[in-house]
Every structure is written in structure tokens, then in C-alpha cells.
Amino acid sequence: MTRVSNPLANPQLRRLGAWALRAIGPALLVVLLVRFVDYGELRAVLGGMEISWGLAALAAVELFLVLRAFRWIEIHRAFGLPDAPLSYHLRLSYATNLAAMALPQILNTFYRPVLMAQDGYRARRALAGSILEKLGEAAAFIAFGLYGSLFLAHTFAGLVWWAAGLAALAVAATAFVWAFRSRLTRLAMELIERIPGLGEEERVEAAHEIVSLNARVLLRVFAWSLVIALTQATMLYFLARSLDVGLSYAFMVAAWGIVALSMLLPISVNGIGTREAVLVAAFHAADKSTDAAVALGLLVLVIGALGSAPGAIEWVRRTVNATGRPTTTNAQSAMRANAPSAAEREPRH
């Protein structure tokens, strides 16, 4: 009997399928730009932009990066990574955020651990910390998405049923995770397996690093993620004010919640296309201009790139450096190599 091979087992086909899904968002943006945008109106909207509110949005991006640096200080403590100054965390936050703006994250989802490993930190714990950051962001996005769907239920016809479905899904997911919490290690390992160059032992150890964290640590990381997400929503509100859209702060936070929820779907590259589509739907329901919605979505990309621009200095510095590592003393390198584990520093349970 001839065995039929599973096409999903082919890594090239899986990557091709992932790219095909990611192309949905950009294709959606092309449709919006070709079929629905009045370029004369778009130029008028952008030409009337109020610079003071644009600068406020840029300041919100900077605050987001600072808060992200503080979250990494918390993650360092959680995994027993040696302390680093705020300036170090800021440099990496700028560099990785710029990379996320310039390159699809599908190419290198966990590039921060690569930079940390270059700096002498233990790769396994750096990777576990990055995964924890992603999980915190996903939880915050879901929370804001639920808020957004509930808030906008009176605006979008029939959205209340979608909101109820999302709420039921969140409750069911929580119950599932609790019932099958013994399998969390395997789930974490499957996520870690996406990173090339790690052996089986390293994957197991990194997975255990995550699932053995103290619940209070997880709550603190989640709290940081909520504050960071609110900062991103505030940036969107400032940009809307700069375009004189005239929508309330609560409405824009709700709209950003739906955008954040859509970004968890693997159908775009850094939210391109899906973000604009959600904003167009929200603005249309509120009797606002489609062109203003598309302009707002594009401005999010521009402001994010401008705010992360200092990260280019970090990438250039690492490229020029022949070893790819910042200057550190031998004592600092030895300290990092022999740092105690989180379990040795404090109990996790």
C-alpha cells in the first residue's frame, strides 16, 4: 500500500502557506487603495494634519518603548538574568521595534534573544523571556479586543453576538488551559521549536522556565502589557485628533482593541491591511471618512518607524562590530555566564 505523504510535514510548503496567509492583509490594503480611496481627499486629510497632535502621538510611541524596557527589567528578574541598566533595555527595545516595522516578524519572531545571546546572556532564558513577553502581549490584546467588541456593539449591527461569542471563547479557553495545565510544557516547547539552532534539551529547559514561574510574576508582566497596550491605543487617539476626526477617546481605544485582536490572526504582516480595514469599518459605522481611516492606518506605520528610528544606531553598531557584541568587560561576561537561575534566586511557587 502506497503511503501518502502529508504536505503539512514539508517545511517549505508550511512556510509557503504561512506567507500566503500573511499576504491577505497587504492584498486587502491594495483593494482599499485602488477601489475605495479618493486620493484628492486623502491628500486633503493629510495636508490638514495638526502637527501638535502628531508630536503627541510620537511621544506616545517613545513612552511605549520606555514601558517595554521596564517590562524587560521585570522579565530579567523573573528568569534570573543579570541586571542591566535601563539604557541597555531601551537600546534593544528601539532596535527590535524598528526591525518589527521593517521586516515581517515571520522571518525572525524572537530576534531579541539573538541580540541578548550576542551580549553574553544565556540564550535559553533570553528566549523564555521573549516568549513570556509575547504571551503577555497576546493576553493584553485579547483583553482590549473584548472591550472593543463590547463597546462597539451598539455601533456595529450584530456585533453584540460576536462580542458574546468572543467572551464565551475566552472563558472556554481559560477553562481549557486550567484543565490541561499539565500540557503547558509541551505547548511551550512547540512554540520554542520554531527557533532554529536549539537542541531538544534546550527546548525542554526553556519550556520549564516559563511554566514554572510564580503566578505573581505572570500577573506583573500582564499588568505591564495592559499599560503598554493602552499607550498604543492612546497613540492612535492622538493621531485621530491630528486628522480632526472628532471621535472620543473611548471609541478610539475600542477601535484599537479590535485592531489588536485582528493582529493576533496570521493574515497580515505587522497589521498592514487588517488595521486599515478595521478602521474603515469603524469610521464608516460612525459616519466618518473612509479616506481618514486609511490615512490614520498609514500614519500608524509612519509614526512607529519615526519613533523607533534611533534603533538604527544599535543595528549599525552591531554590524560594524566584528564580533557582533557591544563592549563588555571580562568580569561582566563571566557574571552573565555564571548567573544563578531564577529557581536559585527566589522560589517560584
Q: What is the pLDDT along the chain (349 residues), one digit of tens a residue?
A: 455 455 555 667 766 776 777 788 888 888 888 888 888 888 998 888 999 999 999 999 999 999 999 999 999 998 888 989 999 999 999 999 888 876 655 445 557 888 888 888 887 788 888 888 888 888 899 889 888 888 887 666 555 565 566 566 666 666 665 565 555 566 665 655 555 555 566 666 766 777 677 778 888 999 999 999 999 999 999 999 999 998 999 999 999 998 988 887 777 777 788 899 889 988 988 888 889 999 999 999 999 999 999 999 998 898 888 454 444 433 344 334 334 444 333 434 3
The alpha-helical segments, DSSP class H, found in the chain are 11-22, 24-31, 39-47, 51-78, 86-102, 111-118, 123-151, 159-179, 184-192, 200-211, 215-242, 249-263, 274-285, 290-308, 311-320, 330-337, 342-345
Whether residue 20 is contained in a domain is answered as no
Residue 15 lies in a domain: no
Beta-carbon contacts of residue 213 (< 8 Å; ≥ 6 apart): 78, 132, 342, 348
Tell whether 348 is covered by a domain: no
Are 50 and 244 a contacting pair, CB within 8 Å? Answer: yes
Q: Is residue 182 part of a domain?
A: yes
In angstroms, rounded to a whole number, what is the distance separating the alpha carbons of residues 281 and 277?
6
When divided into structural domains, the chain yields a total of 1
Summarize pLDDT for 190-210 with one digit per residue, the tens.
655 555 555 566 666 766 777
d(CA 250, CA 148): 9
Q: Judge whether 307 lies within some domain.
A: yes
Whose CA is closest to 55, among 248, 256, 241, 272? Answer: 241
* 39-93 pLDDT per residue, tens: 888 899 888 899 999 999 999 999 999 999 999 999 999 888 898 999 999 999 9
Q: Are 258 and 148 in contact (CB under 8 A)?
A: yes
Domain assignment of residue 21, yes or no:
no
Residue 32 lies in a domain: no
Q: Please check whether residue 243 lies inside any domain of the structure.
A: yes
- Domain with 225, as residue range(s), is 38-319+330-340
Distance CA 328, CA 338 (A): 15
